[in-house]
Amino acid sequence: MYGSKLHGGLRSKRRIHLLKRTDDIKASKLDWLTILIVIALALAGWLNIYAVVYDSQLDQNIFDLSSNSGKQILWFGISIMVVSLIMIMDFRFFDSFAYPIYGLVVLLLVSVLVFGTVVSGSKSWFELGFIRFQPAEFAKFATALAVAKFLGKAQIKRDQIKSWALAIMLVGIPAGLIVLQGDTGSALVFSAFVIVFYREGLSPLLVLVGIIAVLLFVLTLLVGQFYLILAIIIVAAILTAIGKRTSKKIRTVVAIAVVTIGVVMSVDYIVNNVLQPHQQNRVKAFINPEADPLGYGYNVTQSKIAIGSGGFTGKGFLEGTQTKFDFVPEQSTDFIFCTIGEEHGWLGSFILVSLFVTLLLRIVFIADRQKSNFSRIYGYGVASILFFHFAVNIGMTIGLFPVIGIPLPFFSYGGSSLLAFSILIFILLKMDAHRMQVLVH
């Protein structure tokens, strides 16, 4: 009996020990598919950063620390260090410290307005000795954490406008601060959270209204105010004419028509008065890049020429001419996709787009398998941010979106963005590896 008790004690001890071991095993169960895709993107990006500035007449080394490709290696190192740090941290840290992290980043965003350095028109950089970094990049994961924390609370009432207003405020504060820095492109990224809100129950009607407003905006620029208003009136008249003519229906139709016409009529005002001249030009370039191919349409025209000239299989690694000879602007950062398009053709572009779509789907898959609200919502935040970057960055290079200067994740040259995206995605992977422990917690 005693012996058995002792034995039982031993057994329970062993059990605990065993439990701990399985925990460890689970903890090491990182989602390697995601990691592989990220590494593939980063390596491909690195080769392209080298290709952009490659000059056959000079003997250039891809590891040369004075070149972009060399510097990017340093950032690989820094990112790996930070990622390792995340891996050894307790997975609960991010849940517990979501708000403090968010608070800290907002503080950084405010102080960059005061102490920051102006780089190409935006006051969004901190200079620390030899290193420069952009707090806006880090605001993305911090906001994703805060939104996850807020919406993940069990007691949150998702049918109340107030809850959504608070959530939108969480997104709006950093976005607004970034606008103040003069970096509208990065601020627009925060609109991606609409995907998270939609997933978490925001009425699709509101999402739809937003999409329709954007569509109307673009259509007005494409078609012209007069025709669009005419079309709206005709559609409204047809809707009123067919079916039962109840007064409620007529009232609704008329109200919607008036609102849409109002939106349409405000477009000219917004374009001319709210947007800054360079932003107006980007809108104009998007509507008709051929109108002024050497002026505001230059970037898009040259970018399309570079990509379009790649053909099916491309000109070959280091063989691109448009990117190498500086016809395409910002080619190692915002327009890096041009190098892929030109040197690796449609095939290369297809592979890259597929890699990104696979990564996005995988993240959504990971998010959906989370046991806690917090990590699920955070997962969707990651997917949304990456999606926005992917869609807008590639979309603008081929003329499907207006030019918004944001990098292609893991691919573009730039330390802050590489580090911030690594943090963003590895926090999710860390929490995913421990998802089975959430019940214990």
Partner 1 sequence: MTDNRSNIIRVTFILIGTMFIIKLFFIQVLDENYRLAAENNVMQRLIQYPYRGLVYDRNGELIVYNKPVYDLMVVPREVVMEDNSEFCKHLAITPEEFEEKMEKAQNYSWYKPSIFLKQFSNEGFAAMQDLLVDYPGFYIIPRTVRAYPFKGMANALGYIGEISKYKLERDTTKYYRQGDYVGISGMEAKYEEPLRGKRGVKYRMVNVRGLEKGSFKEGQWDTLPKIGDNLISTIDINLQEYAETLMEGKVGSVIAIEPATGEILSFVSAPSYDPNLLTGRSYSEYYKKLSLDSLKPLYNRPLMAMYRPGSIFKIIQALVALQEGVITENTRLRCNRAIIACHGPHTYENLKGAITKSCNPYFVQVSRKMINQGVTDNTYEDTRIGLDKWRDHVASFGLGSPLGIDLPNEKGGMIPNVAYYDNAYQSKNWKFSNIQSISIGEGENLVVPLQMANFAAIMANRGYYITPHLIKAIGENKEPLAEYQKKNYTTVDSKFFDVGVEAMAEVVRSGTGQYRAKLADIEVCGKTGTVQNKDRPDHSVFIAFAPKDNPKIALSVYVEHGGQGARAGAAIAGLMIEKYINGCTDRNYMEDYVLNGEFIY
CB of 375 to partner 1, least distance (A): 15
Dig out the tokens for 187 from the structure.
Answer: 């601020």
Min dist. Cβ of residue 284 to partner 1 (A)? 20
Residue 93 binds partner 1, judged by CB under 8 A: no
Q: Does 341 bind partner 1 (CB under 8 A)?
A: yes
Structure tokens at 394: 């590639």
Task: Give the position of tokens 């590895």.
Answer: 426
Residue 361 within binding range of partner 1, rule CB under 8 A: yes
Least distance CB 12 / partner 1 (angstroms): 40
Q: Is 306 in the site for partner 1 (CB under 8 A)?
A: yes
Q: Which of 350, 334, 338, 281 is nearest to 304 (CA)?
A: 338
For residue 336, count other CB atoms closer than 10 A to its CB.
28
Residue 326 near partner 1 by CB under 8 A: yes
Contact track, partner 1, 178-197, x by CB under 8 A: -----------------x--
Whichever of 17 and 290 has its CB closer to partner 1, that residue is 290
Q: Which stretch binds partner 1 (CB under 8 A): 132-140, 217-225, 303-311, 431-439?
A: 303-311
Q: Does 51 bind partner 1 (CB under 8 A)?
A: no
Measured from the CB atom, the residue of 122 and 323 that comes closer to partner 1 is 323
Tell me which stretch binds partner 1 (CB under 8 A): 43-51, 71-79, 110-118, 298-306. Answer: 298-306
Q: 334 or 342, CB closer to partner 1? A: 342
Residue 397 CA to residue 394 CA, distance in Å, equals 5
DSSP one-letter string for 358-389 = HHHHHHHHHHHT-SSHHHHHHHHHHHHHHHHH
d(CA 192, CA 185) in angstroms, rounded, equals: 12
- Residue 202 has φ and ψ, to the nearest 5°, of -60, 135
Helix, strand and coil percent figures for the chain, each rounded to 5: 70, 5, 25
- Structural tokens at position 298: 């230059």
User: Could you say whether residue 360 binds partner 1 (CB under 8 A)?
Assistant: yes
Please work out the total of residues on this chain that contact partner 1, with binding judged by CB under 8 A.
47
Span of 37-45, 100-108, 272-280, 309-317 interacting with partner 1 by CB under 8 A: 309-317
**310 in contact with partner 1 (CB under 8 A):** yes
CA torsion angle 12 15 19 22 (round to 10): 170
Q: What is the SS3 string spanning 310-335? A: CCCCCCCCCCCCCCCCCCCCCCCCCC
Nearer to partner 1, 106 or 396 (CB): 396
The answer to whether 308 contacts partner 1 (rule: CB under 8 A) is yes
Residue 219 to residue 124: CA distance in whole angstroms: 33
Name which position in 268, 354, 369, 441 contacts partner 1 (CB under 8 A). 354
Whether residue 369 contacts residue 338, with contact meaning beta carbons closer than 8 Å, is answered with no
Q: Residue 345 or residue 415: which is nearer to partner 1 going by CB? A: 345
Query: Closest CB to partner 1 among 380 and 411?
Result: 380
Q: Residue 48 half-sphere exposure, CB side, CA atoms within 13 Å?
A: 30
Supply 213's token pair. 């407003």
Interface region with partner 1, contact rule CB under 8 A, candidates 64-72, 93-101, 163-171, 364-372: 364-372
Q: What six digits make up the tokens of 320?
A: 């691109």
Phi and psi, residue 131, nearest 5°: -110, 140
Residues 6 or more apart whose CB falls under 8 angstroms from that of 148 comprise: 98, 373, 374, 375, 376, 377, 378, 381
- Binding part of the chain for partner 1, among 3-11, 119-127, 184-192, 358-366 by CB under 8 A, reads 358-366
Residue from 46, 54, 387, 413 binding partner 1 (CB under 8 A): 387
116 is a site residue for partner 1 (CB under 8 A): no
What element of type H or E holds 416? Answer: helix 415-433
Q: Is 214 in the site for partner 1 (CB under 8 A)?
A: no
- Pick one of 68, 191, 225, 309: the residue that binds partner 1 (CB under 8 A): 309
Binding site for partner 1 (CB under 8 A): 56-57, 195, 198-199, 201, 204, 302, 304-312, 321-322, 324-327, 341-342, 345-346, 349-350, 353-354, 356-357, 360-361, 364, 367-368, 380, 383, 387, 390-391, 394-395, 398, 400
